[in-house]
Amino acid sequence: MADILVITGMSGAGRSATAAVLEDLGWYVVDNLPTTLVDTIVELASQPSSSIEKLALVAGRQHVELMPKVSGLRSAGHRVRVVYLDASDQELVNRYEATRRRHPLADEAGGLLEAIQRERTLLESIKADCDLAIDTTDLNVHQLKSRLLGVFESSGAERLEVTVESFGFKFGIPLDADIVMDVRFLPNPHWDESLRPMTGLDEPVRRFVLEQGSATRFVDDFMMLISGVLPEYVHEGKSYLTVAIGCTGGRHRSVAVAEEVANRLRQSGQPVRTGHRDVGR
């Protein structure tokens, strides 16, 4: 049976770019897929004579109709993962205005922003059930490719893949976060003039943050929590988990804590990736 990825999400959030990256990684990609052809394509890919081992199905306008097909494929024994691409309303507006493309729901809405918000409402249930959500708001094409390479370059692993990401609350909570933790209660290195130009990746800031008793207790307690819930995510069939840790600006406290959490997960044998969304702002 083929390894199947279903690529869905907001129009303008990067489905076509994702399809191109997957094609470079050796996936057989079917873009803008009509729902009626899903079963036929999967059946052909699953034939003993087929050379297709990794099949990526990129949803067109029929996102909602595609999900019942996903359930049917899973019931038939296929490994199917759903990737949901998202971006903020303002970023999607900017992209459409820059390209002068017409939104697929333009005829059903009073304007571009209303069309985007309407589509977001229609896709809420799909995002809630996806295996991996990727927020492309702050990603250019090259950064999106790097993110996808990190996730799918070694495709086929059955273990849960965890991403630990830092962020700044002043810039908004990441749209792709599954678990969000707030470390703004920790003393802020920003108010130390010698530490302010640095980030949580620098040793002086790391020590300042992590040597606080409150930080030690938080990380210890959080590791107990995350260690307890990871097996449950695996049991539910989830392949990817994004843990977002935030402070005010996303440069100091959240970065140091995210790195510490990721290191402890690695020491326990858990595959983990790190990202620091706002460290350069």
Which pLDDT score, from 0 to 100, does residue 1 have?
58
Q: Which CATH superfamily is domain 3-156 in?
A: P-loop containing nucleotide triphosphate hydrolases (3.40.50.300)
By C-alpha distance, which of 240, 40, 148 is closest to 30? 40
Phi, psi of 279 (to 5 degrees): -65, -25
Secondary structure element (H or E) that encloses residue 73, with its range: helix 63-75
Q: Mean pLDDT in each 10-residue stretch from start to end of the chain (281 residues)? A: 85 91 88 83 86 86 76 86 94 93 89 94 89 91 83 61 95 94 97 97 98 96 94 81 97 98 94 93 89
Q: Where are the domains of the chain?
A: 3-156, 162-276
Distances, alpha carbon 80 to alpha carbons 23, 55, 120, 132, in Å: 17, 10, 23, 12
pLDDT at 157: 46
Q: Taking a C-beta distance cutoff of 8 angstroms, is the pair 1, 78 a contact? A: yes
Residue the block writes with tokens 């997960």: 265
**Helix, strand, or coil (residue 272):** strand
**Cβ-based neighbours of 269, under 8 Å, separated by 6 or more:** none
Question: What is the rounded CA–CA span in Å between residue 148 and residue 146?
Answer: 5
Give the integer Cα–Cα distance in Å for 85 and 222: 28
**pTM for this structure?**
0.75
In the chain, what is the greatest distance between 2 CA atoms, to the nearest angstrom? 66
Judge contact between 249 and 184, C-beta under 8 A: no
- Per-residue model confidence (pLDDT) at position 219: 97
Q: Name the residue type at position 168.
A: G
Rounded to 5 degrees, φ, ψ at 64 are -65, -40
CB-based contact 92:116 (threshold 8 Å): yes
pLDDT of 174 reads 93
